Amino acid sequence: MIKDVNVKSDKEKIKKLPQQVFYSSREETNCPLITDMLKISRKINEKESLKDKKDVIISFTYGKRMLINGLVGDYPNIKRTELLEIVDYDPIKNNLLVMGSTEPLIETSIHFMIHHARKEIKVVAQINKEDILKIIKNEIPILEKKFPINSFEFIKQILKELKDNKIIGIKNDVVLFVGKDVKEIEEMIDKTL
C-alpha cells in the first residue's frame, strides 16, 4: 500500500541538506556491540537478493550513543575502521558529534533520531535497493520523499509511520527494519526477503 502524503513527480530529485560532522575522536570504536554488528552482517550476506552489500546500513543503540556503519567496502568482513559511534546529533542544526575514523553516511541522522525517539528500538537495518522494494511494496507502507533526506521534517514523517509498523519503505529505493534486538531483525529480513 502506497501512502501518497504529497504527490510529486518521481523525477524530482530530493536534495540533501548539508550535514556538519564534528569528531570528538578519530580512534576506532571499542563498542561492545561490534559482535552483534558482525552477526547481522553475516546473516545479510547469506541473502542472495542482497549481492551489493554496500547498500546496507545497520545501527544499534549503545546507551545514549549509536553504533553505525559508514561506507563499507566488504560488508561480510566489516572492519572497525568502517564503524562509527555517534555521540550526539542536533536535528535543527544538522550537526553530528562522532567518534571513529570514517565519514558518516547521510542516513546517519535518520537512524539516530529513530533510536532516540523510540527507546524500544535497539536495532535499525536499512537496505537501499529498488528491486527489493518493488518485490514487497504491497506488504508494507511506502512513504513519499517530500522533504530533503536528512531534514527534520523527513525524520518526523518516518517516525510517524514507525508508530504502527516495524518495516516501512521509502519511495523509491529504501526498506527500513526496526526491532528490539538482532534476532528480531534477522527474522523480519528472513520473512520479508
The whole-number pLDDT of residue 43 equals 79
Measured CA to CA, the distance from residue 124 to residue 72 in angstroms comes to: 16
| CATH annotation of 18-192 | 3.40.225.10
Q: What are phi and psi of 167, to 5 degrees?
A: -135, 125
How many alpha carbons fall within 13 Å on the CB side of residue 176?
A: 26
Which grid cell sits at 58?
545497520
Classify the C-alpha dihedral 50-53-54-56 as positive or negative.
positive
- All structural domains of the chain with their residue ranges: 18-192
Instruction: Work out the mean pLDDT of the chain and round it to a whole number.
Output: 84
Which grid cell sits at 46?
547469506
Of residues 95 and 47, the one with the higher pLDDT is 95
Q: CA 156 → CA 109, 110, 162, distances in Å?
A: 12, 9, 10
Which grid cell sits at 96?
553530528
The whole-number pLDDT of residue 178 equals 97
The whole-number pLDDT of residue 23 equals 95
The whole-number pLDDT of residue 54 equals 61
